A and B are shown apart, each in its own frame.
Chain A
Amino acid sequence: MTPNRHGSAIVEFPNDLEIVTTREFDAPIALVFDVFTNPEHVRKWFAPFTCEVTECSIDLRVGGNYHIVFVTDDGTECSFRGTYLEVAPPTRTVATWLFEGWPDADAVESVDLHETGGATRLTMRLAFRDKAGREHMTKHDGQQDSFDKLEDLLRSLLDPDG
């Protein structure tokens, strides 16, 4: 039996203004890509079980838009939308990311898939543009500041025994 991978997503801050989430799935890369980008699949897993997905449109091509909306138990609408900048099945997509309800967040989300020995690793990189209006956050080389230590400290705050 394959091990249960629940709760195994890793969230990291590799550098300035980026959040990177990594998760492995016991499935081939083409299927993971399809489940992550095909609206018929996305509406099955995107929202928590008790929430209703009211909108899920994904036009998977460069310049195409996506819009996903779900409504929580207390009636709050959570809306995610953006435009694809790169589409390279089954390994990569890059899209702008706007979470309504957090209007100042202007971000670019890159998703990379990599298959090794039947397992597919999904890496989601959310890069926020800074307020000075930095042009591109997608090709962020160098500038590895020492945020890792700060992250360790943050984690130790939540779990003092960890």
Chain B
Amino acid sequence: MARSSTTSDVFNAIAEAHRREILDTLIGGEKAVGTIVTDLSMSQPQVSKHLRVLSEVGLVRCRAEGRRRLYRLEPARLRPFHEWLARYEQAWNDRLDRMDEYLKELQQEGEPQ
């Protein structure tokens, strides 16, 4: 099977709770791997594995500073997910607005309250 598209890769990457915790902890700014391990009480191999997945889809970027490897968030890469969320939010907002209008019509017609 062909490799899934970049868009769905981002979805897959953030579908895992530990990876979202890593993204959350990086919202405050760049962090070393060791700091992430301490902050989140995860094992170093576990954090490294998740960071590799996040790097592959471009959600985090790594740079070396001496012997330390520092990771930072690339928030623009979350856009495909955000666009899906915005469409879902819009669809339900519109649907519930129509339900609101319909409820008003029914009540004006004097439906049993």
Contact = CB atoms under 8 A, between A and B. Distances in A.
Interface stretch (B30-38, B49-57, B84-92): B84-92
A105 B3 CA distance: 20
A145 B82 contact: no
Contact of B113 (A31, A130, A131, A155): A31
Kindly state the interface size class of chain A when it binds its partner: 35 or more
B27 A23 contact: no
Main secondary structure of the interface of B (DSSP, over half): helix
Nearest to A120: B103
Given A11-B89, A23-B96, A35 B103 contact: yes
Interface string A1-39: 000011111010000110101010111100110011000
B88 A11 contact: yes
Contact of A154 (B81, B98, B107, B111): B81
Contacts of A158: 82, 86
B1 interface: no
Interface string B51-86: 000000000000000000000000110110110011
Nearest to A23: B96
B99 A145 contact: no
A28 B113 contact: yes
Contact of B24 (A6, A49, A149): A149
Interface of B: 14-15, 17, 20-21, 23-24, 27, 75-76, 78-79, 81-82, 85-86, 88-89, 92-104, 106-107, 111-113
